[in-house]
Structure 1
Amino acid sequence: MLGKTDGGTTFIRNYNLYGPSTQKAPDAGLVYENLARIDYSDGAAVTPWLAEALTFDEAGTTLTITLRDDVTFSDGTPMTADDVVFSLRLPLSDPSFNIGGVTYTAVEKVDDRTVEVAFDAPAFSELNQFAGSGTFIVPAHLWADQDLNSWTNPDPIGTGPFTLERFSAQQVTLAARTDYWGGRFELKQLKIIPTNGDAVKAQLLRGDVDWAPIAWADAENEYVAEDPRNHLYQQYATGGAYSMFYNTARAPFDNVNLRRALAMTIPRTEIVATLQRPGTEAGPTGLVDEIYRDVLLPEYQGQVQQVDAAGALEELAASGFTVSDGKLVKDGQTYVPTLSFNQDYGWDAYANIMIRSWQDTLGLTVEPVGAPGANLWEQQQRGDFDLTISTTGGAGPAGVYRALASQAAQPLGEKAATNFGRWTDEETDELVAQLTRSDDAETLLAATQGMQRVVAEQVPYSPIYSSYWFVAINASRWSGWPTPEEFTAVPTTALGPDFALVARDLKRARS
């Protein structure tokens, strides 16, 4: 039993991965799969999954995808190149379907096991897009005749390890496939229930749920200590960070000095202390030391940005803004900024810490605007925010930084897949192009370090704390769970292939 803390209070039976509705069924990645997987146990390397091989030509503009020959959809139909071509063309067919920000321009079938994907420019570092939610492989024979703007796909058929057995607003039951290409599981059934951070703690302690994605501030004392053998509380680095985005497409956040002033007064140490995760403050580059230490500039290694009130006031003065009655004022214009955040993640407390710091150090009033995750996601995509909290990460430096390319930005009101802050900058575009188009080690290192300076100095977003998957596990019924010290897959259903690997190792615990 999975206690899902980030899916709202009820579930919606909508497995249409591309439709306009923000309300989706939970954990579609257990039914649908990607061609590739990001291996977070190996520096976020992209590795084949439904693909047997992913090979670029010498120019880096043509990717040849060789498919596994043992994959079937759950209705028994073999997966072929036709399905892959159909699926990869969906983001190209309608801009609103490009939810993952794909950058390829054409997809062609070579034979039943081979597909070629074309890029307009070298794309050696672009493989991560084949491991995301925007490029799930779906069965062409079931999807081709549907109107994806209205269809809800209530009975999903995918290549993944599970099928939908029962669906209600309060519980989804998935059945493990006996013909899954990745092997058979001792786990026969997975139940998913909606819950929240407070309720799931009691459910875990009672053994009503087996695991849950939850950041538990005092888990060591409140949970692990109750049953050290079976109560596990783990964290796995994602390689990215939780960051604050500025809406740079509109005033006043198009002002770099103002962005710096706000960044310099985020109390990161206080936030991670509240999280009971000391030492996880993010550095100014958005790259996590423990994964990217070899490419970090020396001046950013191990750096933790503390609140610098004096420096922030200097930046505020340089911005030309003044603060009057808590409001930003410049050239006769008055601004009352808002900070939007995900209520499903319990971010209220951390937002309030930031808001209080801005009030104390700058005299600035910032209004909190919490929203459920699905609503916030749509607001961020459309640029309907002043300041907002989201994740910044991906496979390798290119995966982290490509979201800042101007081609990923959209006009306010139109959906952007990644560049929520609408950052447009010529230097950024040049550096991201080098990151994604080159396979030369020295060029990649120079571009990575150039982007570190862009993020640290121009602050298109402000990293707050290093991002981890927090997982609480009650292992009294199932054994074989990985640990952060020894793992090949992360025990979260947010990463479908990872959970398939985890589920394969789970065994019924002995009494």
Structure 2
Amino acid sequence: MTSKVRKALRRTIAAVAALASLMSVAACGGTSSSTAQDGTVVSIFNGTTGTFNENFNPFSPTALGPTLGVIYETLYWYNLATDEDPTPMLATGYEWNEDGSELTITTREGVKWQDGEPFSAADVAFTFNLIHDTPALNTNGTACTAKLIDENHVKLIFPTKNADGTPFDEPFKGAYMQEGGILGGQAIVPEHIWKNVKDPMNYTNANPIGTGAFKLSRFTNQSYSFSAFKDYWNGAPKIDGVRYIALNDASAATSTLMAGQVDWMSAYIPSYQTLLKNYPRISAVNTPRLTTVVMTCSNTEAGCKGPQTDTAVRQAMYYGMNRTQLNKLAGAGAGAIGSPTMLMPDRDRKWITDKNLVTTPETEDQEKAKQILEDAGWKMGDDGYRYKDGVKLSMTIQTVAGWSDYILINDTLKQQMKPLGIEIISTQMAWNQWNENEQKGNYQLSLDSLGLGVTADPYYTYNPRYSSLQMAKVGETSGGQNYARYSNPKVDDAIEAAAGTEDEAERKAQYAIVQKEIANDVPYIPVYINSMLTEFNDSKVTGWPTEDNMYALPAAWKAWDMGIILQHLEPKQ
């Protein structure tokens, strides 16, 4: 599931009716729909409303959520709730050669595919060669071929010259920053099955065979189920199965949770403390990890038009926001303080070298914002708005119809910016149109959120969103995620330099350059870090992540982590 789809689902769920209207569901009524003969089966709602479309292709951006982590696994798993070393999964070791052009991986022994066939390094080699030979599958930008060494070792080889043998425009500095995507972002598939797939991009894979702890047992458009894989390499799961359900509409999510018919879901509920008080068997954790931003089409050379292309306007908006008010009104105070570096202050502090850039200001500094605009030539007009060269300081901000919290942010921003002489016009539209506008640059301001990288290394935040290589001109669909059309040679050079070294101190020095530039240019203006509220039913199983033991990110839609969590669950005695 793509980050865009996850955000759309989160927004849909956030629009649930007020909790008071749902309390008509009996506090003690209902039980989980699993039966005694099923054993202990955990029911999950991961945001799907309507019906499921059968797709378990781990290369597909529209694959069903548990495809990644529950069925298929990676070489290593990165816990993005913390900044810690990755956990070995299908690999037990890896080593770069001296110049960073080869990565040798040691695969785990004793692993079986869910059809009983043995897993080996040959499957890893096949997976990466399939990606190399099928460019449409290469969503991580992996640039390697694979050479099988023996049953438990495979070598990934990265090009150091162009295909015709001529040198690269820039000297090869190592492929070290592809490490995270390779080790922690790529599902490994079985060669004995996928070698016969003629169209791997469009294959729906109705009978998926992975190395994960649960195997698909039943599929319908309304629900699908998994049974525990008893020969799982890390030990048989302690629960008997998992069931994913779809609901007719978003408001049914909280009702179903209260009725005891769902055991795990991630949904923002404004009065969730009241819910927990009235339903003792329900617990919740909040793990803010997605930064809400005012995205700007910032680059006139790329075709962006409007006052937001002026750095001074973006800076004035940054200092003119009252983020505490926005968090309280739209996020019920459950959001966390963000950073102008776009990193997570709690998790990523070691990467932020300037103490003045650790967190955003929480209240507005109107005088500073006004002075920035004055110095840039934006003068106040008789109508209370500023003008420069006859152009009114007026911008349109888009969001998706039905995203109630984001609509409230936009409406509040309109009031917060007015005393500065900035006019904000809020507009709502269908998700598809909003998404297309961002990809093609057909917008001035857009309220959105920036998701998580493959690992906690800042490279996976900065390269996709700030590198000139990841942008397209206005009107062209962006292949990368630089929807702000941001371009800064200093940032490009620093990102490239960071990608070419294993030395953490050197990467930190390069990231400091990036942070200084983007904090000044603010192509993405940070608001706050969204709440990521997840609810659990404690009456059936134990072992859910807690605030004190965040062994995985608990969101019910989070790829890879959901497989880790399901392995931790045990029937309640």
Could you state the TM-score of these two structures normalised by the residue count of structure 1?
A: 0.85
Secondary structure (helix, strand or coil) at the match of 1:272 reads: helix
Matched, 1:364 2:423: yes
Alpha-carbon distance change, 164 to 441 in structure 1, aligned in 2, over 3 angstroms: closer
**Residue 471 of structure 1 corresponds to which residue in structure 2?**
534
Matched, 1:137 2:177: no
Q: Which amino acid aligns with 1:246?
A: T
Equivalent-residue separation in structure 2 for 1:303 and 1:114 (angstroms): 46
Alpha-carbon distance change, 303 to 464 in structure 1, aligned in 2, over 3 angstroms: closer
Matched, 1:244 2:297: no
**Residue 283 of structure 1 corresponds to which residue in structure 2?**
339
Is the 1:327–1:365 Cα contact (8 Å) retained in structure 2?
no
* Superposed displacement of residue 232, structure 1: 1.0
Equivalent-residue separation in structure 2 for 1:345 and 1:172 (angstroms): 30
Alpha-carbon distance change, 415 to 445 in structure 1, aligned in 2, over 3 angstroms: closer
Alpha-carbon distance change, 213 to 131 in structure 1, aligned in 2, over 3 angstroms: farther
Segments of structure 2 that go 5 or more residues without pairing to the other structure are 1-41, 159-171
**1:311-336 residue CA offsets vs partner (Å, 9 max, x unmatched):** 44444556667899999987788875
Indicate the larger mover: 321-330 or 106-115.
321-330
Equivalent-residue separation in structure 2 for 1:406 and 1:108 (angstroms): 32
**1:368-416 residue CA offsets vs partner (Å, 9 max, x unmatched):** 33544x8766664555554241224332222222222223334553342
Alpha-carbon distance change, 436 to 321 in structure 1, aligned in 2, over 3 angstroms: same
Alpha-carbon distance change, 427 to 74 in structure 1, aligned in 2, over 3 angstroms: same
Is the 1:256–1:319 Cα contact (8 Å) retained in structure 2?
no
Equivalent-residue separation in structure 1 for 2:405 and 2:53 (angstroms): 21
Is the 1:408–1:418 Cα contact (8 Å) retained in structure 2?
yes
Is the 1:104–1:117 Cα contact (8 Å) retained in structure 2?
no
Secondary structure (helix, strand or coil) at the match of 1:234 reads: strand
**Residue 319 of structure 2 corresponds to which residue in structure 1?**
264
Equivalent-residue separation in structure 2 for 1:241 and 1:276 (angstroms): 16
Q: Which amino acid aligns with 1:268?
A: R
Is the 1:161–1:176 Cα contact (8 Å) retained in structure 2?
yes
Equivalent-residue separation in structure 1 for 2:203 and 2:442 (angstroms): 26
Indicate the larger mover: 354-363 or 325-334.
325-334
**Residue 87 of structure 1 corresponds to which residue in structure 2?**
127
Is the 2:55–2:205 Cα contact (8 Å) retained in structure 1?
yes
Is the 1:352–1:368 Cα contact (8 Å) retained in structure 2?
no
Segments of structure 1 that go 5 or more residues without pairing to the other structure are none
**Which runs of structure 2 are paired with 1:35-50 in the superposition (5 Å)?**
35-40=75-80, 42-50=82-90
Equivalent-residue separation in structure 2 for 1:262 and 1:366 (angstroms): 14
Equivalent-residue separation in structure 2 for 1:37 and 1:64 (angstroms): 17
Equivalent-residue separation in structure 2 for 1:17 and 1:376 (angstroms): 26
Matched, 1:409 2:465: no
* Superposed displacement of residue 34, structure 1: 1.6
1:182 to 234, 251, 254: 234
Matched, 1:397 2:458: yes
Alpha-carbon distance change, 123 to 156 in structure 1, aligned in 2, over 3 angstroms: same
Matched, 1:207 2:260: yes
Alpha-carbon distance change, 62 to 131 in structure 1, aligned in 2, over 3 angstroms: closer
* Superposed displacement of residue 190, structure 1: 1.3
Equivalent-residue separation in structure 1 for 2:111 and 2:404 (angstroms): 36
Q: Which amino acid aligns with 1:157?
A: I
Please tell me whether Structure 1 or Structure 2 has the larger radius of gyration of its CA atoms: 2
**Which runs of structure 2 are paired with 1:483-498 in the superposition (5 Å)?**
483-498=546-561
**Residue 198 of structure 1 corresponds to which residue in structure 2?**
251
**Residue 47 of structure 2 corresponds to which residue in structure 1?**
6
Q: Which amino acid aligns with 2:115?
A: D
Q: Which amino acid aligns with 2:269?
A: W
**1:247-282 residue CA offsets vs partner (Å, 9 max, x unmatched):** 334223443223323333444222322323357121
Secondary structure (helix, strand or coil) at the match of 1:52 reads: strand
Share of identical aligned residues, percent? 23
Equivalent-residue separation in structure 1 for 2:50 and 2:417 (angstroms): 32
**1:400-456 residue CA offsets vs partner (Å, 9 max, x unmatched):** 222222233345533424333332221111211232222334322222222221221
1:69 to 98, 109, 113: 109
RMSD: 3.4
Alpha-carbon distance change, 181 to 453 in structure 1, aligned in 2, over 3 angstroms: same
* Superposed displacement of residue 97, structure 1: 3.0
Is the 1:341–1:351 Cα contact (8 Å) retained in structure 2?
no
Alpha-carbon distance change, 15 to 433 in structure 1, aligned in 2, over 3 angstroms: same
Q: Which amino acid aligns with 1:487?
A: M
Secondary structure (helix, strand or coil) at the match of 1:223 reads: helix
Matched, 1:255 2:310: yes
* Superposed displacement of residue 129, structure 1: 1.2
Equivalent-residue separation in structure 2 for 1:362 and 1:90 (angstroms): 55
Structure with the higher fraction of residues in strand conformation: 1
Equivalent-residue separation in structure 2 for 1:167 and 1:10 (angstroms): 11
Secondary structure (helix, strand or coil) at the match of 2:346 reads: helix
Is the 1:342–1:376 Cα contact (8 Å) retained in structure 2?
no
**1:184-204 residue CA offsets vs partner (Å, 9 max, x unmatched):** 112222111234653322222
**Residue 436 of structure 1 corresponds to which residue in structure 2?**
499
Is the 2:142–2:182 Cα contact (8 Å) retained in structure 1?
no
**1:165-218 residue CA offsets vs partner (Å, 9 max, x unmatched):** 222332222222222222211222211123465332222222111121122222
**Residue 456 of structure 1 corresponds to which residue in structure 2?**
519
Equivalent-residue separation in structure 1 for 2:244 and 2:388 (angstroms): 51
Equivalent-residue separation in structure 1 for 2:551 and 2:282 (angstroms): 21
Equivalent-residue separation in structure 2 for 1:301 and 1:383 (angstroms): 29
* Superposed displacement of residue 357, structure 1: 3.5
Is the 1:231–1:475 Cα contact (8 Å) retained in structure 2?
yes
Is the 1:3–1:209 Cα contact (8 Å) retained in structure 2?
yes
**Residue 354 of structure 1 corresponds to which residue in structure 2?**
413
Equivalent-residue separation in structure 2 for 1:37 and 1:158 (angstroms): 16
**Residue 33 of structure 2 corresponds to which residue in structure 1?**
none
Is the 2:293–2:449 Cα contact (8 Å) retained in structure 1?
yes
Q: Which amino acid aligns with 1:88?
A: F
2:56 to 10, 15, 19: 15
Is the 1:51–1:68 Cα contact (8 Å) retained in structure 2?
yes
Could you state the TM-score of these two structures normalised by the residue count of structure 2?
A: 0.77
2:66 to 27, 30, 44: 27
2:350 to 294, 304, 314: 294
Equivalent-residue separation in structure 2 for 1:375 and 1:23 (angstroms): 18
**Residue 52 of structure 1 corresponds to which residue in structure 2?**
92
Q: Which amino acid aligns with 2:67?
A: A
Is the 2:114–2:211 Cα contact (8 Å) retained in structure 1?
yes
Is the 2:373–2:379 Cα contact (8 Å) retained in structure 1?
yes
Is the 1:72–1:180 Cα contact (8 Å) retained in structure 2?
yes
2:276 to 224, 228, 235: 224
Q: Which amino acid aligns with 1:369?
A: Q
**1:104-150 residue CA offsets vs partner (Å, 9 max, x unmatched):** 343333333222223453243442213555x2222333334322454
